[in-house]
Amino acid sequence: MTNIILLGPPGAGKGTQAKRLVEERGMVQLSTGDMLREARSSGTEMGQRVAAVMDRGELVTDEIVIGLIREKLTSGAAHGGYIFDGFPRTLAQADALGALLSELGQSLDHVIEMRVDDEVLVARITGRSTCGNCGEVYHDVTRPVPADGKCVNCGSTEIKRRADDNEDALRTRLLAYYKQTSPLIGYYHAKGQLESVNGLAAIEAVAAEISGLLGSQTQDA
Ligand code: AMP
């Protein structure tokens, strides 16, 4: 069982690579962004509380996201390991994750930073859309939605843009990343756990680089 963090700014490709790892290695993706969007769309009290914060591109409280992760980690084992995608995003979250994993007798095996340039992020994010049913990611230029409007993966026509994938919110999200999340690069570097890949390369090439770091464990490892 291998637990990994994918670290990088919005648009670095964390979700795309996480989905591949789920398919190829039977790992379980834990995206706090997805969990929060789910809470919003199912109209829970917490979902309603975080909606405006998310739309502005700011971070929701540590307490909420740590609670979400705690719930997932304590509710069952993922034999292929966990991919933390968009979590941790603050030093307090990183400390909480470390404590939670050791409480459960588990380890954090890789922290993979996806390095990208800001200009690329704007282009990637403003053209992005996602299948509301299966999470498949599309892009107006590099991976357009098929002409019939149906998801290539599941056939759903529920392909949507995220409310925070606009330039204003993106600016706030980038600022939040540099102010609150990028210190994690130093944090994990100091612990000797940081590895990085070139997030500007093609999806396949990034996937190959990540695979190289993870080694050849299979689903039963
Ligand atoms: P993402 O899908 O990872 O880009 O997350 C979308 C939004 O959800 C972020 O802009 C934050 O408002 C919120 N969010 C997701 N993960 C976290 C986290 N670990 N800590 C705080 N806020 C988060």
User: CA triplet 22, 141, 208: central angle to 5 degrees?
Assistant: 35
Tell me if residue 128 is catalytic: yes
Considering 70, 115, 143, 162, which one is annotated as catalytic?
162
Q: Is pLDDT at 147 greater than 60 in this prediction? A: yes
The answer to whether 201 is a known ligand-binding residue is yes
List 160's β-bridge partners, or say none: 130
What is the rounded CA–CA span in Å between residue 80 and residue 82? 7
Residue in 19, 36, 116 to alter for ligand 1 test, most ligand atoms within 8 A of Cβ: 36
59 is in an annotated binding site: yes
- What is the mean pLDDT of the segment spanning 64-71? 97
Taking only the tens place, the pLDDT of each residue in 78-98 is 778 999 999 999 999 999 999
- Kindly calculate the radius of gyration of the chain based on its CA atoms and give it in whole angstroms: 17
Would you state the structure tokens that stand for residue 158, as one six-digit string? 């529920």
Residue 220 has pLDDT above 60, yes or no: no
Amino acid identity for residue 91 in this structure: L
pTM over 0.85: yes
SS3 (DSSP) at 20? helix
- Cβ contact 185:25 at 8 Å: no
Averaged pLDDT, 99-123 = 93
Out of 19, 40, 89, 124, which one is annotated catalytic? 89
Burial 79-94 (b: 16+ CB within 10 A, else e): ebbbbbbbbbbbeebb
Q: Is 162 a catalytic residue?
A: yes
Range 36-42 average pLDDT: 94
Q: Which of 22-26, 74-78, 155-159 has the lowest mean pLDDT?
A: 74-78
